[in-house]
């Protein structure tokens, strides 16, 4: 019996329990995966300054993200096909986040639908939007998110075309997934996962299937999605979406100060410095490397968050020190989900929280809101 003490333990367990094609989908980057690796590696390069004889009693990691109280500056990022890591994955992750006191973001490309997650939770969650060519569908999605009581919209700006992901191509990860003999044999070695899938009816893209004329199964879904991500997305669309949504708006996928200034000028509430977990433009800098210049460029005009490479509470603290008011985690919660369902997501959040709290104390702080760049020995740019 493995004792789970860190995110890496959850990763290893998930790798054993989730069929390879779905595990690889979550845990890979595009092309050479250099950006995917840099996201994690560049966190390691930042060294922390230890303080002593400082009162460390009565600590709190609680803060706010776009004015919403959070138990720590961490939100669950929107991740595609989350319900393939574990049956009903989006519902389980949303429940774990709700109990822990951090926001959960549901992806447009989720397996469970907006309505499924709303019915299974008691607090508002966030919804992530992709801009599709079918703008009437985008409007319906926004309206459904509003009707479900979602409290923020996360608009992804960096996936209007898809980065080339070798593992997915080799594994036959498509809609529908290619059930080749190697894939079927691999699935048979993951009985826990198979039983979960047999026990749920939620195996398709619930936000799309049944909500677009002619898209009623995985095969029609595959054809529809292949042409739907709209490469013409512009700042005018951001304005249109902001107006249609009318609530808190978060822009995800910003990597350049120039785009960050445009994001701030758009009136959005937060931007997320993100290279999509190294899944889009391989060769881009890590998110933690891109963060300081962006934070400097926009000042207090918009909240700056980051995602990419966070595998410990120390990373959350370092991101905070380099200018991120909040962070989003993708793989760190997906490993927990694949390993142990809802309990695994809770475990991932507990691990991050404990590491964040202890590291904050070692660096001489009792409140997350007082942390700044002075906790870093030699901030590496
Ligand atoms: C065919 C669906 O964020 C990812 C996701 C979404 C991609 C949707 C593709 O894989 O990076």
Give all domains of the chain, ordered by start, each with its CATH number: 7-366 (3.20.20.70)
Q: How much is the average pLDDT of 87-108?
A: 98
**Residue tagged 């708006």 (tokens):** 249
Q: How much is the average pLDDT of 249-270?
A: 98
Please tell me whether residue 156 adopts helix, strand or coil conformation: strand
CA 80 – ligand 1 centroid, Å: 5
CA 66 – ligand 1 centroid, Å: 26
Taking phi first (over 0 means left), then psi (-120 to 50 degrees means alpha), and beta for anything else, what does residue 67 get?
left
315/359 Cα distance (integer angstroms) = 10
Looking at residue 58, what DSSP letter applies?
A: S
Whether pLDDT at 1 is above 70: no
CA 310 – ligand 1 centroid, Å: 19
Q: What is the DSSP track for 226-290?
A: HHHB-TT--HHHHHHHHHHH-S-EEEEEE-SHHHHHHHHHTT-SEEEE--GGGTSSTTSPPHHHH
Which are the contacts of 363, defined by CB distance < 8 A and separation ≥ 6?
48, 49, 50, 51, 317, 371, 375
**Residue tagged 């890496």 (tokens):** 8
**Residue tagged 């230890």 (tokens):** 50
Q: Which atom of ligand 1 is nearest to the CA of 174?
A: 1
107 annotated as belonging to a binding site for a ligand: yes
Whether pLDDT at 89 is above 80: yes
307 annotated as belonging to a binding site for a ligand: yes
Q: What is the pLDDT of residues 144-184, one digit of tens each?
A: 999 999 999 999 999 999 999 999 999 999 989 999 999 99
231/254 Cα distance (integer angstroms) = 16
320 annotated as belonging to a binding site for a ligand: no
Q: What is the pLDDT of residues 281-313, one digit of tens each?
A: 999 999 999 999 999 999 999 999 999 999 999
Which residue puts its alpha carbon closest to atom 2 of ligand 1? Answer: 109
Annotated catalytic residue 353: no
Q: What is the pLDDT of residues 39-54, one digit of tens each?
A: 999 999 999 999 999 9
Q: What is the pLDDT of residues 232-250, one digit of tens each?
A: 999 999 999 999 999 999 9
Instruction: Please tell me the total number of residues recorded for the chain in this structure.
Output: 381
Compute CA distances 374 → 49, 68, 365, 371, whole Å: 8, 26, 11, 8
276: Cβ below 6 Å to ligand 1? yes
The best mutation among 36, 80, 90 to test binding of ligand 1, ranked by most ligand atoms within 8 Å of the C-beta, falls on 80
Look up the ipTM and state it.
0.96
Predicted confidence at residue 86, as pLDDT, reads 98
Whether pLDDT at 205 is above 80: yes
Predicted confidence at residue 226, as pLDDT, reads 87
User: Are β-strands 152-156 and 249-254 bridged in parallel, bridged antiparallel, or unpaired?
Assistant: parallel
| 69 bridge partner residues | 64
331: Cβ below 6 Å to ligand 1? no
Mean pLDDT of the chain: 97
Whether pLDDT at 185 is above 70: yes
- Helix (H) / strand (E) element for 106: namely strand 105-106
Q: Are 88 and 202 in contact (CB under 8 A)?
A: yes
Predicted confidence at residue 244, as pLDDT, reads 98
Both structure tokens of 357: 């709290």
**Residue tagged 């709290």 (tokens):** 357
Q: Catalytic residue among 86, 166, 276, 365, which? A: 276
75/274 Cα distance (integer angstroms) = 14
Whether pLDDT at 379 is above 80: no
CA 306 – ligand 1 centroid, Å: 19
């Amino acid at each position: 019996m493995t004792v789970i003490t860190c995110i890496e333990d959850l990763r290893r367990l998930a790798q054993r329990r989730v069929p390879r094609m779905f595990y690889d989908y979550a845990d890979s980057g595009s092309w050479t995966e250099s950006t995917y690796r840099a996201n994690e590696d560049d966190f390691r390069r930042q060294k922390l300054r230890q303080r002593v004889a400082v009162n460390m009693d009565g600590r709190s990691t609680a803060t706010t993200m776009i004015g919403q109280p959070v138990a720590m500056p961490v939100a669950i990022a929107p991740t595609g096909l989350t319900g393939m890591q574990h049956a009903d994955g989006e519902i389980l992750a949303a429940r774990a986040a709700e109990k822990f006191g951090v926001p959960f973001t549901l992806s447009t490309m989720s397996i469970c639908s907006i309505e499924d997650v709303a019915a299974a939770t008691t607090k508002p969650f966030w919804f992530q939007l992709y801009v599709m060519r079918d703008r009437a569908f985008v409007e319906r999605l926004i309206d459904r998110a509003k009707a479900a009581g979602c409290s923020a919209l996360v608009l992804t700006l960096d996936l209007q075309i898809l980065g080339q992901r070798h593992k997915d191509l080799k594994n036959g990860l498509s809609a529908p997934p290619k059930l080749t003999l190697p894939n079927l044999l691999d699935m048979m070695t993951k009985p826990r996962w198979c039983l979960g899938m047999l026990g749920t009816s939620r195996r398709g893209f619930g936000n799309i299937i049944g909500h677009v004329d002619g898209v009623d199964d995985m095969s029609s879904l595959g054809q529809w999605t292949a042409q739907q991500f709209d490469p013409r997305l512009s700042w005018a669309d951001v304005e249109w979406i902001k107006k249609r949504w009318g609530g808190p708006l978060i822009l995800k996928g910003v990597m350049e100060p120039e785009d960050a200034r445009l994001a701030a000028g758009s009136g959005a509430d937060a931007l997320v410095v993100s290279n999509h977990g190294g899944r889009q433009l391989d060769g881009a800098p890590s998110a933690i490397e891109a963060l300081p210049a962006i934070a400097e460029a926009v000042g207090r005009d918009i909240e700056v968050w980051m995602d990419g490479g966070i595998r410990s509470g120390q990373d959350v603290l370092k991101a905070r020190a380099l200018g991120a008011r909040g962070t989003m985690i993708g793989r760190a919660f997906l490993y927990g989900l694949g390993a142990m369902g809802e309990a695994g997501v809770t475990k991932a959040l507990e691990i991050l929280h404990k590491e964040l709290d202890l590291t904050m104390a070692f660096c001489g702080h009792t409140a997350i809101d007082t942390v700044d760049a002075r906790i870093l020995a030699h901030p590496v740019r």
